[in-house]
Every structure is written in C-alpha cells, then in structure tokens.
Structure 1
Amino acid sequence: MSSHPVPGAGATAAPRGTARKLTVVVLGLAALVTVMLCAFALPNVNGAPHDVPVGVTGPAQVTRAAEQKLDDEAWDVTVYDSPEALKNAVRDREAMGGLALGADGVDVYTATAAGPSTASALTAMGNGLATQQHTQATAHDVVSFPADDPRGAGFSSAALPMIFGGIFPAVILSRLFPGHQGLRTRIAGVLLFSLVAGAAVAAFLQFGTGSLDGNYGLTSLGLALGMAALSTTFIGLEAVLGFAGLGAGAGVMMLLGNPLSGLATGPHMLPAGWAALGQALPPGASGSLLRANAFFDGTGALVPALTLAAWIVFGLALALVADRRAKNPRRAAAQADASDATAAAVV
C-alpha cells in the first residue's frame, strides 16, 4: 500500500496574525523612509535666504535704490552710516553681512562663520550690482572660519556627534542601571558624560582640526549643555514611557532636529516656521550656541543657552514624574496592567 504525502505536512504553520503584522511593519518602515526623505530633502530643496538681516551703506540715493531692490521676503535691510558701522553690526550679529556702495565700486561684507550660504548669496548680489554699475566688487569676510578649516567642514559635521552624544549614554545607562532604583544614577551619568564629551569634542575640533576659534572652556561648556539637554530629555522619556519614549525622542531629534538645525547653512536659509522649530529643538540650539561661542565671543549665546536649559528642566521634570509614580505602588501597578493589556491587544 503506497502512501501519498499530504501537501504542507511537516511544515510549521505561521502563527495567526503574521500577515497582518508583516503588513503593518512593511507599511510602517515605508512611511519612516518617506518621512526621513522629506525631513532631509525639503530643507535643501527649499533652501534660500529668508528674512536675512543685512545692511547697506553709501550715498543716500544709492542706498535707497539698493534698499528698494532688496525689499522682499529674502532680506531684512538696515541702512548704516558708514562701512565701519556695518562691519561692527556684522561682528555683533545684528547683520549677516551687507553692501557698501560707492562711486568707485561695491564692498561686500560677509560673515562666513555665521552662514556660508548667506555669504555666498551676498557676494553674488554684490557682483551683480557692480556689473550693473560697471564697477568692481570687493569681498571682505569679517568673521571667517579658521584658516585651518576655511570651509567650516569640522563645524558643520558636529551635528550628528552632538545628537549621538545624547542618545548613546541614555541608551547604555538605561540598560546598565534600569528601573526606579537606577534613575538617579542614570541622570548623574548623563550629566557627567556630557561634561567629559563636551570637553573632548571641543578639544578635537579646536586643537585637532583647527575648526573652532574662541575660548575653549566656554565652547566645551556649550557643547556639554547641548548634550545634556538631549540626554536628560531621553532619560526622562525613557523613565516615563520606557524604550518607546526613548526611541520616539531619538527619532524626532534625528528626523527633525538634525536637518532643521541650520548648522551647515545658518537658520536664515530655512523658511521661517521651519527655522524657528529647528532652533527650538536641542540640535539647532546647540549649533547656534556653538557658533556664538566659537566665532563671536559669546554674542548671541543667551537664547540658545536658555533653550537648552529649558530642555534639561523638561527632562528632569519627566524623571521626577517617573520617580513619584514609582513610589506609588498602586498607581504603578495599574499603569503596568494597562500596558500589559495594550500589549496583549496588539498581539
């Protein structure tokens, strides 16, 4: 008597709901890739000057004509009494650059360290005006990147290390010192790491690659403040929501904070709303604080420093909420049961 194999016999049947889970995962990953593309591509595609503060100086008739020519959404024009006043405004970060117009030519004053893209746009504008007047344009870089790194490559590459400097210690310390008992240790750890990492990154960029100028101690403290803002926020999110909170926070900082930081171009190259959002997030505030400390002797450092301090307070507040919740066993048990029920429903 011959036996016939039964189709599918011996094969392990897929658990119920596998197709649904696979569909959700595939669609979720596709959505994530799309969001990443939008986050990184849109700022570059729409990158152009937006309300850039610039100055003009020269004879009244000429400056009036230049002011009318520049009166659009790209430029915010201020008339200065002299080229020296214009240069001082650039050093004090009241203007990103400007044009000194005269009968014998056009002087273009830029601050490459404040934003290379804006400096390039101003230079091109000065060359165009000089061509119209049949004169020559002379460029003056009032605040430039250091001679060892004239393009600011090291400065521009600091965004991701600062973000990862906030993510990695939060993840590792959450694994090594989990739960309520390890919460204070995690907070102390990320703050100590931020100080050490800030000093190390500042030393590498200033003394290793020559990408930064300014006071080393002030620069390193600014970098530490930025990393602390990220890491304490991640620790707080993890304490309240678990690793899902940490992952969500890291996603926001990577997908929004990094491309909207304006570190490479300066925030004025982003549309107003996107620029404001970028500067409100820790990566953008950290970049602005680093720029102020490294190239402008701390001018313009107050707002980003306060922004980062607010994020630290936010992270510590989340940690405090988690700490108090852990001290209330009844509430903690109820929330744990709710979490288990949610997980069971998903499965």
Structure 2
Amino acid sequence: MLLAFAAPALGSGPSGLPLAVSGPPQATSQVVAALDEQAPGTFDVTMHATADEAKQAILDREAIGGIAVGPRGVTIQTAAGAGAAYTQLLTGIGSGLEESGQQVTHEELAPTTKDDPSTIGVATLGMPLVFGGMATAAILLLVFKGSFGSRLLGAGSIAVLGGLVAAAVLQLGFGAFDASYWQVALAIAFGIFAISSTVLGLGTLLGTPGIGLGAVTMLFVANPLSGLANGPQWLPSPWGEVGQYLPIGAAGSLIRSVAFFGGGGGTHPALVLGAWVLAGVALGLIGVARSPRTAGDA
C-alpha cells in the first residue's frame, strides 16, 4: 500500500509537460531558449502558428497551457481547470519573462470557481469512485440473488444515483464546479459504473476472489495512478499515461473536461470507461455461461 501510493506521489513533478508555444519562428525560438535556461526539462514544447491554434490545443487538453508571442508582447495562456500546479508554474514563467524586459499579459482559458480555485473537488473523488463502485458490486454479488442482467441494471441505477449525489455535494454544496450539473453528474456516474460493472463481471466469473482482485486493481493500482490532483502529466512517465487507461484516471479526466473545458478532450476518457464497462459485461457473461445451473446467474 505504501509503495503504491508513495511512489507516484514522490516521483511526481514538472517534467516533460506539454506546452503550446505560438508566434513568429524567430520570436518563439527565443522563448523556447529562455524556457530551456529557466526550467530545463520542464516542458515538451509544441509549436503553433497562431495564438488561436495554441488556445484550441489547450481547450482540447492537448497542452497544459501556452505561451503566445505577438506584436504586443507575450501572452501566458493558462487553464486552471487542468490543475493548479500548472497555472502556478506558468505564472512563474511569466514573471521571469517580465524581469527580462518582455511585456507579459495573462489569459485564463479554463477558469475554476472562486470557492474551489485549486480544483480540490476533483482531487477528492478518488475514494468515492472506488468505494462507490466496489461497494455496489460487492453488495449485488453477495446479497442480491438476481441474475447478472438484473445486477448490472442495479449497478447502473446506483451509479446514476451516486453521480447525482456527488455532483450535488461538490457543485451545489461547495461550489466546486460552474458547469452543467447534469453533465458533471453523468460523468461521475459513468466512472462509478465502469468500476462496479468491472468488479461485478470479475465476481460473477471468479466468485469472491474476483471481488478481491477488483479491489486490489482499483484501490492500489488505478487510484494512485489516476492523476486526479493535477492530471496525468504531473505523474512520472509512463505511469501517468497508464493511469488514463484505468477507470479512475479516465473518470477524473472526463470530469475535468466536462467541468472546466466544455467537454474538450473528453472523448478518449469516455471511450476508456466504455471499454471497461464492456469488459465487465463480457466477464460476467462468460461467468454465467460457465455456471448455467446457478440460479443467481441465470
């Protein structure tokens, strides 16, 4: 447990962060040189012809922020919804450019709320997602004696209820989001259902050991690699990327996309969650096929 949670946290930090730099080649080359001198190895720079192209890359969550060079100076493009650490880092870069004589302005592209400027609400969703999905699957497997189909329907219903409650607590109660309540609730519900359906499938196939396998996978692998606090880019490579193919990391990215980016960059995590749901259904159907005489699995 200590290794699973401590290793990603202690190895995290600003390294190879995707940054969108735009403007005339001569000017941007000077900015890149300054970045290499001021923060070597911190950024993985992608060049764009215009500030609008860089802005779109940020809104699509392909970059954590940007530096746009124009005739009136340098614009630091931040996206607080991606994670507070990135905004702080880019603000520091802007201060350094100002000290070197540059005219610097700041543009926030994915603002957070005044009640939760550091997106703590998203960061706290890890355990609710894990235990919401795990508890649902365990209760349905150990207590409810219906068929696999009815258990799956029950898991979906509880996930929707959990999404509605969690979104209400975070958005309506604490002001963590300023987006469509229903979309945020659906994104949270999708994450819970991806976990519960996977564990439900494992439990149907393997019995009680399947529940344990699901618990270990979600709690000790998916959760510490999720990047909920600051996104996958903040985790050491390649673990941040690996975490995005697991339910909690994908759910966190989908929730951020819906809550702060108008859905931008949400397609990939939605597909990942859908794949986990399908995998859980497939495992469950295999389990039912292998135990046709078990009434609960009929």
- Separation in 1, partners of 2:24, 2:144: 68
DSSP-derived class of the 1:263 partner: coil
1:118 corresponding residue in structure 2: 86
DSSP-derived class of the 1:280 partner: coil
- CA drift at 1:88: 4.0
- CA drift at 1:64: 0.7
Q: Equivalent of 1:197, from 158, 162, 168? A: 162
1:176 equivalent in alignment to 2:161: no
Q: String of CA shifts for 1:117-153, please: whole Å, max 9, x gaps.
A: 222222222222332x145654432212112221212
Q: Which has the higher contact order (CA 8 A, sep 6+)?
A: 2
1:289 equivalent in alignment to 2:254: yes
Supply the RMSD in Å over aligned alpha carbons: 2.3
> Normalized against structure 2, the TM-score is what?
0.88
> Normalized against structure 1, the TM-score is what?
0.77
DSSP-derived class of the 2:244 partner: helix
Q: For residues 138 and 37 of structure 1, do their structure 2 counterparts lie closer, same or farther at Cα, with a shift above 3 Å needed?
A: farther
Q: Do the aligned residues in 1 keep the contact of 2:59 with 2:265 (CA within 8 Å)? A: no
2:3 corresponding residue in structure 1: 38
1:100 corresponding residue in structure 2: 68
State the one-letter code of the partner of 2:214.
Answer: G
Q: For residues 88 and 326 of structure 1, do their structure 2 counterparts lie closer, same or farther at Cα, with a shift above 3 Å needed?
A: closer
Q: String of CA shifts for 1:249-301, please: whole Å, max 9, x gaps.
A: 11121112111111111111112310121001100000011111111111111
Q: Equivalent of 1:62, from 7, 27, 30? A: 27
Q: Equivalent of 1:252, from 214, 217, 231? A: 217
- Separation in 1, partners of 2:151, 2:293: 21
DSSP-derived class of the 1:210 partner: coil
2:107 corresponding residue in structure 1: 140
Number of aligned positions between the proteins = 291
- CA drift at 1:113: 0.5
- Separation in 2, partners of 1:128, 1:156: 29
State the one-letter code of the partner of 2:89.
Answer: A
**Which stretch shows the higher mean deviation, 66-75 or 302-311?**
66-75
- Separation in 1, partners of 2:22, 2:268: 29
Q: Equivalent of 1:150, from 117, 129, 137? A: 117
- For 1:190-269, what aligned pairs fall within 5 Å after superposition? 190-269=155-234
State the one-letter code of the partner of 2:155.
Answer: V
State the one-letter code of the partner of 2:245.
Answer: A
- Separation in 2, partners of 1:103, 1:299: 29
State the one-letter code of the partner of 1:221.
Answer: L
Q: For residues 237 and 85 of structure 1, do their structure 2 counterparts lie closer, same or farther at Cα, with a shift above 3 Å needed?
A: closer
State the one-letter code of the partner of 1:296.
Answer: F
- Separation in 2, partners of 1:297, 1:102: 27
- Separation in 2, partners of 1:109, 1:45: 28
Q: Do the aligned residues in 2 keep the contact of 1:215 with 1:297 (CA within 8 Å)? A: no
Identical-residue share of aligned pairs (%)? 40
Q: Do the aligned residues in 2 keep the contact of 1:53 with 1:77 (CA within 8 Å)? A: yes
- CA drift at 1:111: 0.6
1:339 corresponding residue in structure 2: none
- CA drift at 1:108: 1.9
DSSP-derived class of the 2:2 partner: helix
- CA drift at 1:73: 4.9
- Separation in 1, partners of 2:73, 2:15: 27
1:270 equivalent in alignment to 2:238: no
- CA drift at 1:98: 1.6
2:59 corresponding residue in structure 1: 91
DSSP-derived class of the 1:99 partner: strand
Q: Do the aligned residues in 2 keep the contact of 1:47 with 1:270 (CA within 8 Å)? A: yes
Q: Do the aligned residues in 2 keep the contact of 1:70 with 1:77 (CA within 8 Å)? A: no
Q: Which runs of 5+ in 1 are unaligned?
A: 1-35, 330-347
- Separation in 2, partners of 1:216, 1:120: 28
Q: Do the aligned residues in 1 keep the contact of 2:83 with 2:119 (CA within 8 Å)? A: no
State the one-letter code of the partner of 2:121.
Answer: G
